[in-house]
Amino acid sequence: MSARTFLAAVVLAWGALGDVASAQIKLGAAEALTGNAAQYGLPIRKGFELAMGEINAAGGINGRKLELIIEDEQGKKEEAINVFKKLIFQDKVLMLFGPTLSNSAQASDPVAQGAKVVVFGTSNTADGITSIGNYVFRNSVTEADILPVTLKVALQKTGLKKVAVLYGNDDAFTKSGYDNFKRALEGLKIPVTTTETFAKGDVDFKPQLTKIKASNPDAIVLSALVAEGAPVMVQARQLGIHLPFIGGNGMNSPKIFELAKDSSDNLWVGSPWSVENPAPENKKFIAAYQKAHNALPDQFAAQAYDAMHIVAQALKNVKLSGKLDGDRKALRDALPGVQFSGATGPFKFRQVTDKAGKPAGYDAVQTAIVSVTKGNQYVIQK
């Protein structure tokens, strides 16, 4: 190699390193921005964008700004798979967030695992998702962890002795919620007077509610997304059923006040996040969100906001080389060690195992806050 050629090579290499050092860090998000699940996906998007704005305003990650490519997966499994493939293979993102629903995650997360790209769920709580593999993470606390706590607090506060159960039997999230409610009820030795089901998209729940009323329970355990859960509560009140409802993550949304209106009282839910939590990190998040959107955030915005900060913490410990495969693995290796205290409280990961008992992905370790709805507000009970 001549001296001139060598010098040219050095200049090119230096330029490439300079490009890597100054380029934006490209992240992806596959969320439901249209359709029924958009009531969760749109707040999630706002949470990501709020956190990213804060991180970039503070100088980014080791001098590099974050860029977020957001695609609409419409809350559908097939679209989630398509969007995952676009973000991973066409846009070549470093990692991706999403999708919005557990049903979609069970279909699309294997795409990320197969490509060895971190996928980070902020709203997937069904069983088995992080068992898919060691590139699958989530900061949304599982129904298995939240529902027993919610039931126990409702039991202590209301004195209920027997419950009826109503759940969606054609969705991974609502079916997983039912399975976990069932285990928790058995553990607490609470009898079930009747178990009724519905399908996604149903609008008439009076036949099931009439059977529930006839079984004379003290409360109704409901595993549903708010699109079906809100009309369930409205129709129950119309039938003269004024019992407490005990719901999962899908019912923990301010949308319940908009959709169920005067019928939304006496709904018990659990989550690491509450708008009433006075922790300084939460008050800072709520104030920033209100300033940006002139509205209060919800659990889903809070979890997305924290997720972006968790990824940022991991990235600060990664020396990005510009070689995508290596950088994706380096981020995967850095994430499990992150401990963070944000809008949803103190957070860390715990590794789960797959069906064969081998180490797999990572679930959230957080403490549940149990609230009940009253007068269009969530009131903390524990």
| pLDDT tens, position by position, 58-113 | 999 999 999 999 999 999 999 999 999 999 999 999 999 999 999 999 999 999 99
Helix (H, G, I), strand (E, B) or coil at 255: helix
**pLDDT above 70: percentage of residues in the chain:** 94
Residues 6+ apart with CB under 8 A from 110: 132, 133
Q: Is 337 exposed, middle or buried (0-12, 13-18, 19+ CB in 10 A)?
A: exposed
Distance CA 230, CA 258 (A): 9
Helices within the chain (DSSP H only): 3-22, 38-57, 77-85, 102-115, 143-158, 172-187, 206-214, 226-238, 255-260, 280-293, 299-315, 324-334
> DSSP string of 12-77?
HHHHHHHHHHHS-EEEEEEE--SSTTHHHHHHHHHHHHHHHHHHHHTT-BTTB-EEEEEEE-TT-H
Average pLDDT over residues 18-37: 85
In angstroms, how far apart are the furthest CA atoms of the chain? 92
Q: Strand 378-380 to strand 369-373: parallel, antiparallel, or no bridges (unpaired)?
A: antiparallel
Question: Does residue 320 register a pLDDT over 90?
Answer: yes
pLDDT of amino acid 250: 82
pTM comes to 0.86
Token readout for 347 is 């957070």
pLDDT tens digit string along 283-307?
999 999 999 999 999 999 999 999 9
Question: Does residue 4 register a pLDDT over 60?
Answer: no
Terminal alpha carbon distance of the chain: 72
Residues 6+ apart with CB under 8 A from 162: 190, 191, 192, 193, 216, 217, 218
Helix (H, G, I), strand (E, B) or coil at 320: coil
Cβ atoms 340, 349 nearer than 8 A: no
Gyration radius from the chain CA atoms? 22
364 φ/ψ angles, rounded to the nearest 5 degrees: -90, 145
pLDDT of amino acid 19: 55
pLDDT band at 23 (very low <50, low <70, confident <90, very high): confident
